[in-house]
Amino acid sequence: MERTATQMAAWLAQCRKIIDELERRQKAMQPFLHAIHPFLRHKEDKDDDTKLLTVHIAGRRVSVLPRTLKCCPSGHPLLELFATEPPARHLPFKYIQKIVDFARRKAVMGANVLVMPPTVKPREVTVFQGEMEKYGSKPSEVYCNDGGGEMGFDGLDLVIKLETEWTRVLEMIKEEIREELKANQEDLSSLPPMLFRSTLLYKSSCDGTAYTTLLDSTKGKEGLLFLFRHGDTHRFGAFVMGGLQEPEDPTKENYYDTGIFFLSLKGAYARPTKIPLDDPAQCVCMGGRQGAANNADDEPAAKMFLGDGRLWLGWGIGDPQGPSKDITQCHTWLDRDDLPQGYQGIWKDGVGSLAASDFFAADDIEIWNICHNWPRRTST
């Protein structure tokens, strides 16, 4: 009897251990059961709740119960992607790849990084823009690839056409920022990696050529990249560290110092080239909305100029009505000493030009806001 009692006690202890282990596993399963609950069929389900919703991705059918989607708010993209009856809507797998990759790069790179948007062929732009919008991206965040490697932003013909050109321009800007901070005796070793974000503020071929439109589009922004296209042969620009500061009196002009350099993308040089300016040329002159930027003889010559008169916008000297209301009417010149080696542009009266001529009508002018995460040198 004593032996039997001992065996029964051992068995009971073993059973208790098994029960304890089962209870532990049951408890551990509770979070999973709670999470999987919306995916399971229940007695209280209506017929509509048990119909499979499907979508085909990369040749595979993905199905889900309606109750699973009940947690999604009205208008959520998932509610539109699934159909109540197969065959489901066919979404090209490359679209999914591009959207997911774009979202991943934006999330990983952070808020201050220039992330190049997806590229699609012209005939795909409208459909792809619709898909992008469903996932919270702006339809304009799509590049249109014409098959030759050149890009347009939301169907636009951009002045900077290649990612390699963007990369080189950002390198130029980074060099300029580093030099400015060194001059101000900043400790660069303590700074994080420099990150950029670019935003298209103004495009004359879309927004018009009025000076006031340019001012309104760039108000309050610093780090402005001006880009010009003159014909099919010349593309160039200028980067202004500070913003465009209008004079307090709209009939006057405002002349002020700020960091600035010019750049050539095509035409004047065989490859993208930075054209640094000496300190006396590190300035901008803004005419008021009813005023003008004057030349050395104090004559109203244009609406504004960059680089101490090396690039004028809204040029119209000699016009009885004053500077041109069309800011694409331009005048530009550069001294021999301004131009780095490799210049292959025109010469006229001993000066060169980044355009195809010194007086020209720009086919397009763009202004981009280039933001970065390093300390800023503001205009003086």
**Strand ranges across the sheet with 311-313:** 253-257, 283-287, 304-306, 311-313, 329-332, 359-361
- Asked if residue 314 belongs to a domain, the reply is yes
Residue 36 lies in a domain: no
| Cα atoms in the 13 Å half-sphere on the side-chain side of 73 | 0
- Percent composition of the chain: helix, strand, coil (DSSP 3-state, to 5): 30, 25, 40
Residues 127 and 84 in one domain: no
* The predicted structure's pLDDT at residue 48: 58
254 is in which domain, residue-wise?
A: 189-372
Q: Are residues 241 and 197 in the same domain?
A: yes
Q: What is the pLDDT of residue 152?
A: 45
277/352 same-domain check: yes
Cα angle 148-153-158, degrees, rounded to a multiple of 5:
70
**What are 200-251's pLDDT values in tens digits?**
889 998 889 999 999 999 999 999 999 999 999 999 999 999 899 999 999 9
Residues 97 and 87 in one domain: no
Residues 211 and 259 in one domain: yes
State which residues of the chain have pLDDT below 70. Answer: 1, 36-52, 56-59, 67, 71, 74-92, 108-117, 119-123, 125, 134-156, 318-322, 376-380
Helix (H, G, I), strand (E, B) or coil at 299: coil
164 found inside a domain:
no
Residue 327 in any domain: the answer is yes
Same domain, yes or no, for 102 and 78?
no
Number of domains in the chain: 3
pLDDT at residue number 319? 65
Which one of 153, 176, 203 terminates a domain? Answer: 153
pLDDT digits (tens, 9 = 90+) for 142-181: 444 433 344 444 456 789 878 788 889 999 999 999 888 8
Q: Are residues 199 and 230 in the same domain?
A: yes
79 & 103 share domain: no
318 in a domain, yes or no? yes
pLDDT of res. 41? 59
Within a domain: residue 132?
yes
pLDDT of residue 267: 96
The per-residue pLDDT for 49 is: 58
The last residue of one of the domains, among 107, 136, 153, is 153
If asked whether residues 207 and 304 sit together in one domain, one would say yes
Contact status, residue 142 vs residue 125, Cβ threshold 8 Å: yes
Residues in the chain: 380
Which stretches within 208-332 are classed as H helix?
211-218
For residue 167, being part of any structural domain is answered with no
Do 126 and 262 sit in the same domain of this protein?
A: no
Residue 354 and residue 206 in one domain: yes
Which pLDDT value is given to residue 245? 96
194 and 292 in a single domain? The answer is yes
- Structural domain includes residue 222: yes
